[in-house]
Amino acid sequence: MQSDLWLASAVNGLVLGGLYAATALGLSMVFGVMRLVNVAHGELIILASYLSWTLYTRAGIDPFVGLVVVVPVLFAAGWAIQRFMLNPLMAQGMEAPMLTTFGLSIIAQSLYLFAWTPDSRSIKTWYSDNVVTVASIAVPNMFVIALLAAALLAGALHLFVTRTLAGKAVRAASQSARTAAMMGVDIPRVYALTYGIGAALAAVGGVLVAATFTFVPSSGLAYLLKGFAVVVLGGMGSIGGTLLAGMALGLAESLGAAAFGTGYKDLVGLLLFLLVLTLRPAGIFGRRQAGGSLV
């Protein structure tokens, strides 16, 4: 294959990785703080995609302007899920809340089917299907926007957990919920805030998905699985790690597709995933510790 095709694949893969990171940040946040595998994360992403699509098709609201509505709605939904459904179960270990999120994901898919039909949806704006060309390498606009969004989100999240009081409470809860509680941190409240933030991050990911690809009620699973790979690669709860792992996964998949064909790109990504798990079980940027590492 020509070298410019390799280069184009590498650049596109790296940039596409931004989208993977954007859709995985919320999952990483929830796992990092609560050690909860949020199986409904993919459905939160797709809910945001549908809300954004509805605003765009019904009211002509640009998907990024629509974030003003979609992000608070998802935050509120996430907060309520944690506050009223998951918090009462947290004392029984992580299995019960995880199974609850599994149930939620199935219910959500059925609701989406009912509300939005099984038809394929997509948001097509004036800017979404163009490219940015740098040194003769064309990269879709949306991939670049997704990477910028992921970097912004990761930066904002880092500032939140390191510079704000609420963020410090979240970080304390991620390191040891029991100790944090003894220090006066309201753990159920922190958990509800964390899940709400996770859902809000999923909202941004969902809008990016809607404007970049297509989606149907069952599309969430693919983003959940990709998100898991990114979170594990990056290190559970590592914000910067999630961003870099997304890019690494995008790069590996893209080069894998260039070398072996698109049919094998997921295989290459999964091989990277297994390799990292074997060599660094805590992930590339994870820390070997019992508690979370939300930084």
Partner 1 sequence: MNIGRAACTLLLLLLPFGCRSGPGGSTAPDAIPIGASITVTGGSASFGGYARYGITRAIAAANAAGGVFVRQYDRKLPVRLVLYDNESKAEKAAADVERLILRDKVVAVTGLTGPERVLSGAEVCERYRVPMVTAGAPLGTVRKARRWKYLWDIFFDEAELCRKQFLLMDTVVSNRNVVLFTDNGPDGTVQGGYWEQYAPQFGYRILYRASFPGGTTDYGDMIRKAQATGADILLAQIQPPDGIALVRQMEALNWKPKAAFLERACEAADFWEALGCSAQGICFTTIWHPECGYPGAKELAQAFHKETGRSYTTHLVGAYAAVQVLLKAIELAGVLDAEAINRAVRAAAAAQPTVLGDIRFAEDQTAAQATMVLQWQDGERQIVYPKEIATRAFLYPLPAWADLRK
Distance in angstroms (rounded) separating the CA atoms of residues 153 and 145: 12
Does 1 help bind partner 1 (rule: CB under 8 A)? yes
Q: Is 87 or 109 the residue whose CB approaches partner 1 more closely?
A: 109
**Nearest alpha carbon to residue 143 among 268, 242, 44, 13:** 13
**Touching partner 1, residues 186-205 (CB under 8 A):** none
Distance in angstroms (rounded) separating the CA atoms of residues 232 and 284: 8
Please list, residue by residue across 78-89, b when 16 or more beta carbons sit within 10 angstroms of its beta carbon and e when fewer do: bbebbbeebbee
> What type of residue is 222?
A
With CB under 8 A as the contact rule, the residue among 64, 85, 102, 140 that binds partner 1 is 140
> Shortest approach of partner 1 to residue 294 CB, angstroms?
29
- Cross-strand pairs, 215: 121
With CB under 8 A as the contact rule, the residue among 52, 82, 109, 242 that binds partner 1 is 109
Contacts for 104 with CB less than 8 Å, ≥ 6 apart: 39, 40, 43, 81, 85
Q: Is 98 or 208 the residue whose CB approaches partner 1 more closely?
A: 208
Q: Is 5 or 148 the residue whose CB approaches partner 1 more closely?
A: 5
Q: In whole angstroms, how far apart are CA 109 and each of 54, 74, 81, 199, 284?
A: 17, 16, 16, 16, 33
Radius of gyration for the alpha carbons in the chain, expressed in angstroms and rounded: 19
Does 128 help bind partner 1 (rule: CB under 8 A)? yes
> Shortest approach of partner 1 to residue 144 CB, angstroms?
11
Does 222 help bind partner 1 (rule: CB under 8 A)? yes
Site string (252-271) toward partner 1, x via CB under 8 A: -xx--xx--xxx-xx-----
Does 122 help bind partner 1 (rule: CB under 8 A)? yes
Stretch that binds partner 1, among 113-121, 161-169, 175-183, 192-200 (CB under 8 A): 113-121
With CB under 8 A as the contact rule, the residue among 65, 72, 120, 274 that binds partner 1 is 120
- Cross-strand pairs, 132: 139
Does 130 help bind partner 1 (rule: CB under 8 A)? yes
In 3-state terms, what secondary structure has residue 49?
Answer: helix
> Shortest approach of partner 1 to residue 131 CB, angstroms?
5
End-to-end CA distance of the chain: 41
Q: Is 1 or 165 the residue whose CB approaches partner 1 more closely?
A: 1
| CA-angle at 44, arms to 40 and 49, nearest 5° | 145
Q: Is 64 or 175 the residue whose CB approaches partner 1 more closely?
A: 64
Binding region for partner 1 (CB under 8 A) = 1-2, 5, 8-9, 12, 16, 109-110, 113, 117-122, 124, 126, 128-131, 138, 140-142, 212-219, 222, 253-254, 257-258, 261-263, 265-266
